[in-house]
């Protein structure tokens, strides 16, 4: 059974810092990985999608990498801002049951 | 605007009173899923559908029903809600890209409280 772990569970950083969020999964036979952002009580906003043939994706200040052989993905946020405060979720797709398996998230707070 | 629309956003109901949470997508997606989110447990798949009239159980299907009569709609039905179904529910959809994955689009969520 695929298990997805995100470390740390919570993180507080001052504005302007660069930071890395980690996601690890137990079964390396994944197809794809998707990073989401969730604001308190709100829905999930897709940030980055890494296809099976890719090793990384970039969008603005965000960069996500995927290493299937080691079962890891990282989300790099450059020059963090208070508006980045949210919970970040990674999810892996293994191509069956049209299912994403989610990690429990990293709650990020960026302080002034 | 491409989106997944859930209704209602908030719902408080009593034990045993049947309810339906609607989900509609305007992207002509084949795949649709329902998830519930609970503190400490993360998001878990309840049911999924790979196309019209094709549905199957996810990880936590007990107490729920779904139907997929039209491609755009995927309602979640709670025939006899119980307090342990109090949760935040999300509907999601995705295009069937064959060997390519296009990612999931999620609705804004429905916060259900069963008293």
Average pLDDT rounded to a whole number, residues A38-49: 91
Q: ∠ CA B62-B66-B68 to the nearest 5 degrees?
A: 155
CB-based contact B101 A36, cutoff 8 Å:
no
Instruction: Please give the pLDDT value at position A4.
Output: 92
Q: Nearest CA of chain A to the CA of B80: how many Å? A: 25
Residue range A18-33, pLDDT digits in tens? 999 999 998 877 778 9
pLDDT at B99: 66
Cβ atoms of residues B96 and B32 within 8 Å: no
**Tens digit of each residue's pLDDT (9 = 90 or more) over B55-109:** 999 999 999 999 999 999 999 999 999 999 999 999 999 987 766 778 899 999 9
pLDDT over 70 (residue A96): no
Mutate to test the interface with A, among B5, B40, B42 (most CBs of A within 10 A): B42
Set of chain B residues whose Cβ sits within 8 Å of the Cβ of A98 = 31, 33, 48-50, 94
Q: Which residue has the higher pLDDT, B35 or A54?
A: B35
Residue-level pLDDT at A60: 97
Q: CB of B44 within 8 A of CB of B58? A: yes
Kindly state the tokens that stand for A92. Answer: 């892996």
End-to-end Cα distance, chain A? 41
- Of A1 and B114, more confident: B114
pLDDT reported for residue B7? 97
Give the number of A-B residue pairs with CB atoms closer than 8 Å. Answer: 63
**Residue B42 or B66, more confident:** B66
- For residue range A70-88, list pLDDT tens digits in order: 999 999 999 999 999 999 9
Residue with the two structure tokens 């308190």: A40
> Hey, what are A59's tokens?
């969008």
Say whether B104 and A52 touch across the interface (CB within 8 A): no
Give the gap in angstroms from C-alpha A21 to the nearest C-alpha of chain B.
Answer: 17
What CA–CA distance (Å, rounded) separates B34 from A65? 27
Nearest-CB residue to B90 (from A31, A41, A43): A43
Quick one: pLDDT at residue A97?
59
Strands A100-102 and A86-93: antiparallel
Contact list in A for residue B103 (CB cut-off 8 A) is 32, 34, 46, 49
What's the mean pLDDT when you consider all of chain A? 91
- Residue A44 has a pLDDT of 93
**Cβ-based contacts of B102 with chain A (< 8 Å):** 49
Residues of A in contact with B88 (CB under 8 A): 41
Residues of A in contact with B41 (CB under 8 A): 104
A69 band by pLDDT with thresholds 50, 70 and 90 = confident
């Amino acid at each position: 059974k695929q298990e997805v772990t995100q470390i740390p569970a919570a993180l507080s950083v001052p504005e302007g810092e660069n930071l890395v969020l980690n996601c690890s999964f137990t079964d390396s036979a994944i197809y794809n990985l998707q990073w989401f952002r969730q604001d308190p009580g709100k829905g999930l906003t897709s940030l980055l999608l890494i296809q099976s043939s890719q090793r990384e994706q970039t969008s603005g200040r965000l960069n996500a990498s995927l290493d299937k052989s080691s079962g890891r993905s990282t989300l790099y946020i450059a020059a963090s801002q208070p508006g980045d405060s949210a919970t970040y979720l990674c999810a892996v797709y293994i191509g069956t049951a049209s299912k994403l398996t989610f990690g429990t998230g990293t709650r990020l707070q960026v302080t002034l | 605007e491409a989106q997944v629309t859930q209704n209602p956003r908030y719902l408080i109901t009593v034990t045993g009173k049947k309810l339906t949470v609607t989900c509609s997508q305007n992207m002509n997606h084949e795949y649709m899923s329902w998830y519930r989110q609970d503190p400490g447990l993360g998001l878990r798949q309840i049911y999924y559908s790979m196309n019209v009239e094709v549905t199957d159980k996810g990880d936590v299907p007990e107490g729920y029903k779904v139907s997929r009569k039209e491609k755009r709609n995927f309602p979640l039905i709670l025939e006899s809600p119980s307090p342990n179904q109090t949760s935040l529910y999300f509907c999601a959809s995705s295009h069937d890209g064959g060997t390519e994955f296009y990612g999931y689009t999620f609705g804004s969520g429905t916060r259900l409280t069963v008293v």
